[in-house]
Amino acid sequence: MTMITTSGSKNLITIADLGCSTGPNTFIAIHAIIEAIKNLYHTSNLPAAHYQTLEFQVFFNDQVSSDFNTLFKNLPPNPNRSYFACGVPGSFRGRLFPKQSLHFVYSASTLHWLSSVPKDIMDRSCSAWNKGRIHHTDAPKEVGEAYEAQFKEDLESFLNARAEEVVGNGLMALQIPSAPDVAAADDDKEIHPARVFELLGSSLMDMARVGIMTEEKVDSFNLPIFTHLLTA
């Protein structure tokens, strides 16, 4: 139960959804998290008065450019919402909250987005230049390695920031899209979640060949998304 004690109020639980977008998925997830915490308290040996007075503060985070107006319009109405809500704009690659202020951090389908396109894949003089493609799927290993290096750098920044913000014994639930290692299982290539990007890149190259756009434009466009490979 130490996860949900704070220096301010032992009955206040703070939750953050990082990369929340505008709903409704974030509201479904937050509801499930809060119900799970309530159930944990309810089945504990703590006095009923302790968990009956629990309050929840939820921080909804996304980029500054996100449509927070739509997010708040989509919030469940007060009678059906068991938490106080506020928006926190900014990149989750860095600090967003005071030290040791969060009890539960949730992030779904956001960490595969990179902070930037890897520089090497845009460099014509580099072996990682991603010519004729817009993603690292079906690309030379140097391209994949450049994407992976950027992913590791971004993830380290994310985890370092959360290490400062999450209380001792706090929890994080991170959902990160991944794919089977096609080198180990060729039959799985067709179910690779990023295969659509390979097909999109091929379509753009076909358009360049018939003169609808230039090949240079295709070469200058790369998606800042990394799909981590899972090995058996």
pLDDT tens-digit profile of 64-99? 999 999 999 999 988 879 999 999 999 999 999 999
* β 12-18/102-108 pair status: parallel
Of 179, 119, 104, 180, nearest to 150 (Cα)? 119
- For residue 97, the tally of other CB atoms under 10 A from its CB is 18
Question: What was the pLDDT predicted at 179?
Answer: 77
* Contact by Cβ (8 Å): 179, 228: yes
Position with higher pLDDT, 188 vs 118: 118
Pick 157 or 192 by higher pLDDT: 157
Read off the DSSP letter of residue 93. Answer: T
**Amino acid 227: pLDDT:** 86
Q: Does the pLDDT at position 47 exceed 80?
A: no
Q: What is the pLDDT of residue 190?
A: 56
Domain positions in the chain: 1-110
Which pLDDT score, from 0 to 100, does residue 137 have? 84
Q: Band of the pLDDT at 194, cuts 50, 70, 90?
A: confident
Between these two residues, 181 and 126, which has the higher pLDDT value?
Answer: 126
Reply yes or no on whether the pLDDT at 5 is more than 60. Answer: no
What does the block give as tokens for 67?
A: 């449509």
Q: Residue 196's pLDDT band (boundaries 50, 70, 90)?
A: confident
- Cis upstream peptide for 24 (omega within 30°): yes
Cα–Cα dist 219/221, whole Å: 6
Cβ atoms 95, 161 nearer than 8 A:
yes
CATH architecture of 1-110: 3-Layer(aba) Sandwich (3.40)
Mean pLDDT along residues 113-141: 94
> Exposed/middle/buried for 121, CB within 10 Å: 0-12, 13-18, 19+?
buried
Regarding predicted confidence, which is higher, 204 or 137?
204
> With pLDDT > 70 as the criterion, what percentage of the chain qualifies?
87
Handedness of CA 30, 31, 34, 35 (dihedral sign): negative
Band the pLDDT of 4: cuts 50, 70, 90.
Answer: very low
Question: How many distinct helices (H) and strands (E) make up the chain?
Answer: 6, 7
Specify the pLDDT at position 23.
Answer: 87
Do the beta carbons of residue 100 and residue 2 sit within 8 Å? no
How much is the pTM?
0.87
* The pLDDT value given to residue 42: 83
φ, ψ for residue 149, nearest 5 deg? -65, -40
Q: How far apart, in whole angstroms, are the C-alpha atoms of residue 140 and residue 125?
A: 15
Task: Return d(Cα 136, Cα 146) in angstroms, integer.
Answer: 9
3-state SS class at 158: helix
Please, are residues 48 and 97 in contact by the beta-carbon 8 Å criterion? no
State the pLDDT at residue 73: 95
Residue among 103, 29, 17 at smallest CA distance from 66:
17
Mean pLDDT over 188-214 rounds to 83
